[in-house]
Amino acid sequence: MSMNAAPRNFRDEELLADVIARLIGDVRHVAVGNASPIPATAALLARERGQGRPYVSLLQSRKHNFFTDGARELFDCAGQGRIDVFFLSGGQIDGQGNINLVEIGEHGHPKVRFPGSFGSAYLYYVVPKVILFRTEHSRRTLVPKVDFISAPGISDGNVYRPGRPIALVTNRCLFSFGDGHFTLVSVHPGHTVEEVTENTGFDFDKPATVPETPAPSAETLRLMREAVAPQLAEVYPQFAAQVFGTGTPAFAR
């Protein structure tokens, strides 16, 4: 930041939520899986901006979840084409949009074990807009080729696949995804194209001039802090307290 730059009035989490909310766009139904507080913030923000649209399903929520049988109903709903946006991440993500949620190292004798794929491969195939998300942007996480493909980013032309990745949001930048590879769209405030290149293990396209990711507007920050944060506190009390100062963290009760 230069000496003449205005001080930032937003947190990194608010910036990322705003980026993701804009990617969600005008859709019917957004579903958010477990342990995803920033995508959940983005989904609720998109709903506030749309005055009730899209419908948001937070799997860990009692209030924002019409599923009564957990993930099984989520999969049925997605297979019927009734979920428009979902979010996926991975211990590793490569330049073809493949994600790894299983292991690093030789299969059967891994050096690192991840939680497992769960329904990621299925949802990757059937949800039209999948937004990839990773808060650690490093060569350890964004790799030339994943060690294990939990869910493939692309498929052969003879494979029926209405679902696909559309973007990757990290703590440093925004990539779009198309034709089997990533393109750098913008770099977040405080970061540079050179930094993104240095910390990315896969090749990506970039325009001659890469813009800075727009900061959240005053109205966006107001919606997040006044309307979204109280709703978020039901599912992510610690996150809501840390980022927005809302409620009391669960561990402090």
* pLDDT at residue 64, as a whole number: 84
Number of domains the chain contains: 1
The values of phi and psi at residue 125, to 5°, are -85, -25
Q: pLDDT at residue 4 above 80?
A: no
Average pLDDT over residues 88-95: 97
Whether this model's pTM surpasses 0.95: no
Span 160-175, pLDDT tens digits: 999 999 999 999 999 9
Look at residue 7 in the predicted model and tell me its pLDDT. Answer: 67
Q: Which domain holds residue 151?
A: 12-252
Q: Is the pLDDT of residue 109 over 90?
A: no
**Pairwise CA distance, residues 17 & 44, whole Å:** 10
Residue 133 in any domain: the answer is yes
- pLDDT of 94 higher than 60: yes
Question: How many CA atoms within 13 Å lie on the side-chain side of 203?
Answer: 1
Under a CB-based contact definition with an 8 Å cutoff, are residues 236 and 35 in contact? no
Identify the band that residue 101 occupies on the pLDDT scale cut at 50, 70 and 90.
Answer: very high
- The band of 11, judged by pLDDT with boundaries at 50, 70 and 90, is very high
Angle at which helices 37-49 and 12-24 pack, to 10 degrees? 60
Residue 3 lies in a domain: no
Q: What is the CATH number of the domain that holds 219?
A: 3.40.1080.10
Whether 2 maps to a domain, the answer reads: no
pLDDT score, position 252? 41
Residue 233 lies in a domain: yes
Closest CA to 165 of 173, 150, 174, 154: 154
Tokens (6 digits) for 101: 């949620």
pLDDT of residue 250: 44
**Is the residue at 192 inside a domain?**
yes
